Chains A and B, each alone.
Chain A
């Protein structure tokens, strides 16, 4: 089952990247992140069938609860509070962003298949999905001016790290995984509070209003 499903899930993760990077509405972007988070939560069940079943089930349930429910809820509430729907003037247009997404996905697949240092038991599919996701996360943080888009970028980057971490999920103690997920919730919680602070101070969510401290 592993061999059949893994490429498809990796492909779905890459497609969710493209969806996130090309949509202008923040709610759509968040929807993309939710889909990606859910796909990632399924991955451990597919990667390690039969190994330490309870551990994998706990990981799955926590992943769904945090990436699928709690984090998007915070973000959607923030968007409502500050009444922002879309990124009005992105630094780089959406069609180019889509182009960037496609190119980096191809590049990741190419690079991972070229690298020969990885152990044999590693699947190139999910590693290239991780790398492609990291490219998208960094891109969103750099190229978007809206602070909410930056948070989404951080989430996507975190997803990339999570995908990578699944390769060692079996040996990972459960409390470390729980800590990682709790940090994610804490991070998003604090970032959304910060967004509210920024909004009440500047009446805007553009990072342009956050450029007074330079040098």
Chain B
């Protein structure tokens, strides 16, 4: 048994420990802290694994079924970080709701913390899977586990959102299953379930069948990733779920589903002899997504629904980056971090604003930045970041995508991308200015103290995004480079 095996087993133990502790404790106030401790420990335990992977390159464990490489490690760190800050945020969120509204029962919060930890565990399993069957099984498991995170007892509409999420994603994932099976069929006599072997023997893969499989995979996994036109569950689930859940859905879950597409992208592209067909399909879905966002963002009145459509836009941008290939892949990977971090704090602040104003309707939220200085201005800043204002990191990653498209002589792609991003820029800015400034007519129902940890999280995330917008540190750049090479050339042991 290697050191990595031991570490992975201890991470598994940590998760099980968290679930057991949640079951044993009787006071909601106590077990609310458990997810934060658990995700903190998981974060720390993954650090040595990450260092080893970056130093030695890709390797597999447990009979080749789990794979560690730059791409998976990058995503794992993002997942762990987002879960860590969201778990800390949710302590304050639930404590407030228990004390002020009394709308969460102890049994509900216990179920919530257990599901939360299991959800994180299965997301990590998806990221580590080298076996395509395993990846499918765990991705489906994340849907089933997270469905009940959407429900909150005080919100009857959340049941509708959960039903749509469950049925749309389950159907989508069946298509993903068909894609998985077709991939094995395409591998022909050399039927294998491992990504590493598929890459190694990519010359034996039947190109026609793998292309068919890839379309199934994009439709199936893309449903979960929120690519339009399969995004219909996303605005409902993001808007009705409790704020921490919306934050991890948008900040993490969509990326994990896209990660699945990235793995298949490299296999498909190699099997097709790098002719760019697979990338073109992604490009089409990416453009549909951002144009759906162009149409629907101006129509939104619900603040969390607005952020949900904003996620559809950014997932579209990432898909376009991947579809462009080359430097675009690097930009897409960079964009993933930028989008996740900024979206998480945008959800935190939007959640606070809607709690304080007692509504999520932006027509009734005015002058947020002066009425509630901290969260109002965090919302304003995070929206500016999401819009793509310089010098924050999203501006840089979008610029890289435009630059890549332009110097690749893909002028139509460049023009369409600029038009869409500009249109979204205007409508999002209008929404943001409307809620942040103006004259406050609505009564503010409660005043919320901002916890020191919440402040620290928000400030550090904003400064990270600012720094990344100006300067990408060397090791981080190298990690992104290695990860994008894995998408383009496949992972080789």
Decide if B193 touches A212 in the complex (CB within 8 Å).
no
Q: Report which of B147, B191, B193, B299 forms a contact with A190, defined as CB distance below 8 A.
A: B147
Closest to B167 in A: A150
Cβ-based interface call for A117 (8 A): yes
Decide if A212 touches B157 in the complex (CB within 8 Å).
yes
Q: Report which of A171, A175, A187 forms a contact with B191, defined as CB distance below 8 A.
A: A171
Decide if B134 touches A161 in the complex (CB within 8 Å).
no
Q: Which of B178-186, B278-286, B471-479, B480-488 contacts A (4 or more CB under 8 A)?
A: B178-186
Decide if A194 touches B159 in the complex (CB within 8 Å).
yes
Decide if B193 touches A201 in the complex (CB within 8 Å).
no
Cβ-based interface call for B192 (8 A): yes
Decide if A213 touches B159 in the complex (CB within 8 Å).
no
Cβ-based interface call for B347 (8 A): no
Interface size class of B (residues with CB under 8 A): 35 or more
Per the 8 Å Cβ criterion, residues 283-299 of B in contact with A are: 296, 299
Decide if B192 touches A171 in the complex (CB within 8 Å).
yes
Given the contacts A157-B174, A213-B240, A186 and B181 also touching, CB distance less than 8 Å = no
A-B contacts counted at CB < 8 A amount to 115
Q: Which of B51-59, B92-100, B137-145 contacts A (4 or more CB under 8 A)?
A: B137-145
Closest to B165 in A: A194
Residues of the B chain whose Cβ atoms lie less than 8 Å from the Cβ of A213: 157, 160-161, 164, 235-236, 239-240
Cβ-based interface call for B451 (8 A): no
Q: In the complex, what distance in Å separates the CA atom of A210 from the CA atom of B136?
A: 29
Given the contacts A119-B188, A176-B193, A183-B137, A194 and B181 also touching, CB distance less than 8 Å = no
Q: Which secondary structure characterizes the binding site on chain A?
A: helix
Q: Report which of B161, B170, B192, B300 forms a contact with A187, defined as CB distance below 8 A.
A: B170
Residues of the B chain whose Cβ atoms lie less than 8 Å from the Cβ of A182: 137
Cβ-based interface call for B148 (8 A): yes
Cβ-based interface call for A180 (8 A): yes
Residues of the B chain whose Cβ atoms lie less than 8 Å from the Cβ of A171: 184, 191-193
Decide if B181 touches A161 in the complex (CB within 8 Å).
yes
Interface size class of A (residues with CB under 8 A): 35 or more
Given the contacts A183-B140, A187-B144, A210 and B163 also touching, CB distance less than 8 Å = yes
Residues of the A chain whose Cβ atoms lie less than 8 Å from the Cβ of B171: 138, 141, 154, 157
What residues make up the interface of B, taking CB atoms closer than 8 Å to A?
A: 131, 133-134, 136-138, 140-141, 144, 147-148, 151, 156-157, 159-164, 166-167, 170-171, 174, 177-178, 181-182, 184-185, 188, 191-193, 206, 208-209, 212, 235-236, 239-240, 296, 299-300, 305
Q: Give 27 pairs: A residue, B residue, CB < 8 Å, sorted on A.
A: A118-B209, A119-B185, A141-B167, A141-B171, A150-B167, A157-B171, A168-B184, A171-B192, A173-B131, A173-B133, A176-B193, A179-B137, A180-B133, A180-B177, A183-B137, A183-B141, A183-B144, A186-B141, A187-B144, A187-B166, A191-B167, A194-B147, A197-B151, A197-B159, A201-B159, A212-B157, A213-B240
What residues make up the interface of A, taking CB atoms closer than 8 Å to B?
A: 117-119, 122, 134, 137-138, 141, 147, 150, 154, 157-158, 160-161, 164-165, 167-168, 170-173, 175-176, 179-180, 182-183, 186-187, 190-191, 194, 197-198, 201, 210, 212-213, 215
